[in-house]
Chain A
Amino acid sequence: MAINRRDFLKVTAGSGLLLAADVSPGLASPPKSLPPEAVGILYDATLCIGCKSCMVNCKKYNSMPGGALRQDNGSIPYEYQSSARIYDAPTDLSAKTLNIIKVYRSGTGVNKDQVENGYSFVQQHCLHCVDPACASVCPVGAFHKLPGSGIVAYEADKCIGCRYCELACPFGVPRFEWRNASPKLVKCQLCRHRVAEGGYSACCEFCPTGASLFGKVVDLRAEAARRLALPAGSSYDYPLNRIGSGRSMPKKVANYYQHTYGLTEAGGTQCMLLAGVPFDKLGFNPRITDQRYPDLTWEYIVKVPILIAALLAAGTVVQRLTRNKGDDR
């Protein structure tokens, strides 16, 4: 997929001419479907105890060779190497934070998983859309879905830094390295370097309560449906770390909000969430519908090559006219 600037311009111009013909958006962008072996994470806020183990180990294992936060000096962007041993907890996703535990609070904030006078933790990271908006807007194919696992991956060597992905993502996930002289986009890639070696996401491996559960999306969807069907107050043996790990922990079932976030949102995502409070309370934009975002993207991006072609034509005409004037003089 290596493409240089010259080839890229050629392709753009060529496709612009091609698309100037009557092409319907649906034809040009067939909806992607979930690969059968796709992997993801099921985050259950009712199990989360807010220990931030996922955050710390995310940073640790993504700063290692192959990870998304890799730094030349190999330092972990959380454990500041100073004699004072100070640290500062991240407040949001950033170029140094791929995964963050946030909290919803209301009133006295003492009752877990309750809307009034309660609180709920929520984990924010890339949800790995089945049909990702970031990939659809990327003009150079730096964002793409890995075949098989379905992980939305990012290739820094292709990226031109346009940040369309940052604007396109409905969940506000990709973040730009503003403080880097040769900046990249940063987001969770589901520990693809660990998955490639037969491992799985660090956040799930180090979660002590099973709140972050790794597995195949089909299995996770079944697990989520099973949990929602459980009566509140009954006991359930919650699997830990990953589906099929053999480890589990019995726990009293909380009062679930009857919805699996990510089952249909934005056309479906590979990472899903369960919680005890409505998801708009947990920072998910209520305007996000089940619509696939690439459909929206296409209406606009399809006009870009036409615009380029039109500008090319207009420019040529202007250049022709002005050159003739110059010759006359």
Chain B
Amino acid sequence: MRGRESDSGKRRGGISRRDFLKVCTAAAVYMGLPASFGPRLAEAATAAAKRPPVIWLSGQECTGCTETLLRATHPTVESLILDLISLDYSETLNTGAGQQAEEYREKSIEENKGKFILVVEGSIPVKDGGIYCKVAGRPVLDILKETAPKAAAVIAIGSCASWGGVPATPPNPTGATPAHEILAGTGIPVVNIPGCPPNPYNFLSTVLYFLTLKKLPELDDKMRPKFAYGRLIHENCERRPHFDAGRFAEVFGDAGHRQGWCLYKLGCKGPETFNNCPTLLFGDVGAGAWPVGTGHPCFGCSEQGVGFVTPIHSPAKPLYITPPIQFAAAQPQEGKGASTLAAAVAGVAVGAGVVAAAASLGKKCGSGNEES
């Protein structure tokens, strides 16, 4: 997709208009929107006099969510931050530092009040006044509470920001809290993009959707976009037919494991984790590039109460396991055919007809024989 040098009309950031439209069309398709939506997304992302500003706040996190975004190839991070959005503040990607960066953040927030997208990466410690995570000498808790009311939308990227993740694992010494809990009651909508890390395209698609339609995509009861977290991993898993056929890897490296059988018995949390990993895959390197595809059971990183909380190799508790159609019915349905009496009457009628026909045929043959 990249590097089509022959394309004319290069835009800044080294992406041609043609490739840019492709990116937007792909994003539209991820979200279940018609492909014709692509140009609209592109228009929305470029038409504005100013690219939409994004403030990226980091709490207790490992920078993995930023890293996953850096590894997106369509769009690449440079086209993202140079063409699609204006990343005004990100502790990882800032070119400036210290006082300079903080000043620019405050300036951008004031200038773009009610227009910028606030991305929260990492959980926010609340214990002891949030002193366990400070940026520029101030607790992140305070920065978030101050920034969020001025944002157009808040996106919590990663499991830590969505529901606590690793820092919130018991005993949770810092009181790590997800963004939506801190902002609860303020009426500020928070979109959760859980995952460790989440798929960058789930994040990018949400951003593009918001830019185009000026509203958030359809969310489920845990405030996750339905286009990405609408189905269980188990439902789209390439190993699902093995589950339905009772073929399981019993231990790592056994014959079943080598043949790609279901990993449920090795502790796969796919049956209780909502995500689109099996269909979207990671890293744009082709089939099998996701945890289960590589032979390791899903550990439910994106599901609250599963990843980082339950043991990795303990069996999952399947959420809904509506049996596939090929199961034998406990009580086979009997067809309601004709009644015995009706069948008998029909049989008699047919029989009489056959006898009559045979008799007349016999007469004809008989007469024919007499003649010869």
A is bound by B = yes
A54 to chain B, nearest CB (A): 7
Is the CB–CB distance between A281 and B315 below 8 Å? Answer: no
Does B349 lie at the interface of the complex (its beta carbon under 8 Å from any beta carbon of A)? no
B327 CB contacts on chain A under 8 angstroms: 50, 89, 101-103, 121
Partner of A51, one of B248, B250, B314, B317: B248
A208 CB contacts on chain B under 8 angstroms: 248, 264-265, 315
**In the complex with contacts A51-B264, A110-B320, A92-B246 CB distance below 8 A:** no
Near A by CB (< 8 A), chain B positions 301-340 give 314-315, 317-318, 320-323, 326-331
Does A209 lie at the interface of the complex (its beta carbon under 8 Å from any beta carbon of B)? yes
Q: Tell me the bound Cα distance from A120 to B327 in angstroms.
A: 11
A120 CB contacts on chain B under 8 angstroms: 330
Does A109 lie at the interface of the complex (its beta carbon under 8 Å from any beta carbon of B)? yes
Q: CB-nearest residue of chain A relative to B331?
A: A283
Partner of A56, one of B246, B271, B320, B331: B246
Partner of B318, one of A49, A101, A110, A119: A49
B155 to chain A, nearest CB (A): 32
Is the CB–CB distance between A49 and B330 below 8 Å? Answer: no
Is the CB–CB distance between A89 and B329 below 8 Å? Answer: no
* 0/1 string, A90-111, CB within 8 A of B gives 1: 1110000000111111000110
Contact count A vs B, C-beta below 8 Å: 77
Q: Tell me the bound Cα distance from A56 to B315 in angstroms.
A: 19
Q: Tell me the bound Cα distance from A281 to B330 in angstroms.
A: 7
A219 to chain B, nearest CB (A): 23
A112 CB contacts on chain B under 8 angstroms: 320-321
B366 to chain A, nearest CB (A): 44
Does A53 lie at the interface of the complex (its beta carbon under 8 Å from any beta carbon of B)? yes
A83 to chain B, nearest CB (A): 15
A100 CB contacts on chain B under 8 angstroms: 328
Q: CB-nearest residue of chain B relative to A88?
A: B326
Is the CB–CB distance between A50 and B321 below 8 Å? Answer: yes
B247 to chain A, nearest CB (A): 6
Is the CB–CB distance between A103 and B246 below 8 Å? Answer: no
- Interface residue count on the A side (C-beta < 8 Å): 35
Partner of A103, one of B243, B245, B329: B329
**In the complex with contacts A119-B323, A121-B323, A251-B317, A92-B245 CB distance below 8 A:** no
Does A282 lie at the interface of the complex (its beta carbon under 8 Å from any beta carbon of B)? yes
Q: Tell me the bound Cα distance from A7 to B176 in angstroms.
A: 84
Does B244 lie at the interface of the complex (its beta carbon under 8 Å from any beta carbon of A)? yes
Does A193 lie at the interface of the complex (its beta carbon under 8 Å from any beta carbon of B)? no
B242 to chain A, nearest CB (A): 10
Q: Tell me the bound Cα distance from A56 to B250 in angstroms.
A: 13
Q: Tell me the bound Cα distance from A50 to B328 in angstroms.
A: 11
Is the CB–CB distance between B246 and A102 below 8 Å? Answer: no
* 0/1 string, A39-83, CB within 8 A of B gives 1: 000000000011111111100000000000000000000000000
Does A257 lie at the interface of the complex (its beta carbon under 8 Å from any beta carbon of B)? no
Partner of B322, one of A90, A110, A283: A110
Q: CB-nearest residue of chain B relative to A252?
A: B317
Is the CB–CB distance between A103 and B328 below 8 Å? Answer: yes
Is the CB–CB distance between B245 and A283 below 8 Å? Answer: no
Is the CB–CB distance between B329 and A54 below 8 Å? Answer: no
B28 to chain A, nearest CB (A): 31
**In the complex with contacts A55-B246, A249-B315, A49-B321 CB distance below 8 A:** yes
Partner of B247, one of A56, A249, A282: A56
Partner of A102, one of B248, B321, B330: B330
Q: CB-nearest residue of chain B relative to A104?
A: B330
Q: CB-nearest residue of chain A relative to B318?
A: A49
Does A236 lie at the interface of the complex (its beta carbon under 8 Å from any beta carbon of B)? no
**In the complex with contacts A52-B245, A208-B265, A104-B331 CB distance below 8 A:** yes
Is the CB–CB distance between B330 and A103 below 8 Å? Answer: yes
Does A87 lie at the interface of the complex (its beta carbon under 8 Å from any beta carbon of B)? yes
Is the CB–CB distance between B245 and A89 below 8 Å? Answer: yes
A308 to chain B, nearest CB (A): 36
Does A122 lie at the interface of the complex (its beta carbon under 8 Å from any beta carbon of B)? yes
A81 to chain B, nearest CB (A): 14
Q: Tell me the bound Cα distance from A49 to B265 in angstroms.
A: 12
* 0/1 string, B215-227, CB within 8 A of A gives 1: 0000000000000
Q: Tell me the bound Cα distance from A195 to B265 in angstroms.
A: 24
**In the complex with contacts A50-B321, A112-B321, A105-B329 CB distance below 8 A:** yes
Looking at B262, B320, B328, which has the most chain A CB atoms within 10 Å of its CB? B328
B318 CB contacts on chain A under 8 angstroms: 49
Is the CB–CB distance between B244 and A52 below 8 Å? Answer: yes
Is the CB–CB distance between B322 and A282 below 8 Å? Answer: no
Near B by CB (< 8 A), chain A positions 192-209 give 206, 208-209
* 0/1 string, B241-274, CB within 8 A of A gives 1: 0011111101000000000001011000001000
A109 CB contacts on chain B under 8 angstroms: 322-323
A195 to chain B, nearest CB (A): 21
A102 CB contacts on chain B under 8 angstroms: 327-330
B297 to chain A, nearest CB (A): 12
Q: Tell me the bound Cα distance from A50 to B318 in angstroms.
A: 10
B322 CB contacts on chain A under 8 angstroms: 109-110, 119
Q: Given contacts A110-B322, A121-B327, could you give 19 more A-B pairs where the C-beta distance is less than 8 Å?
A: A49-B271, A50-B327, A51-B262, A52-B245, A52-B246, A53-B265, A54-B246, A103-B328, A103-B329, A103-B330, A109-B323, A110-B320, A112-B321, A119-B322, A120-B330, A206-B250, A251-B317, A281-B330, A282-B331
Q: Which residues of A are at the interface with B, using a C-beta cutoff of 8 A? A: 49-57, 87, 89-92, 100-105, 109-110, 112, 119-122, 206, 208-209, 249, 251, 281-283
Q: Which residues of B are at the interface with A, using a C-beta cutoff of 8 A? A: 243-248, 250, 262, 264-265, 271, 314-315, 317-318, 320-323, 326-331
Mind listing 26 A-B residue pairs with CB under 8 Å?
A: A50-B321, A51-B243, A51-B246, A51-B248, A51-B262, A52-B245, A53-B248, A54-B246, A57-B246, A89-B245, A89-B328, A91-B328, A102-B330, A103-B329, A104-B329, A109-B322, A122-B330, A206-B248, A208-B248, A209-B315, A249-B315, A251-B317, A281-B330, A281-B331, A282-B330, A283-B330
> Which 3 pairs of residues, A with B, have the shortest CB-CB distance?
A52-B246, A283-B330, A56-B246
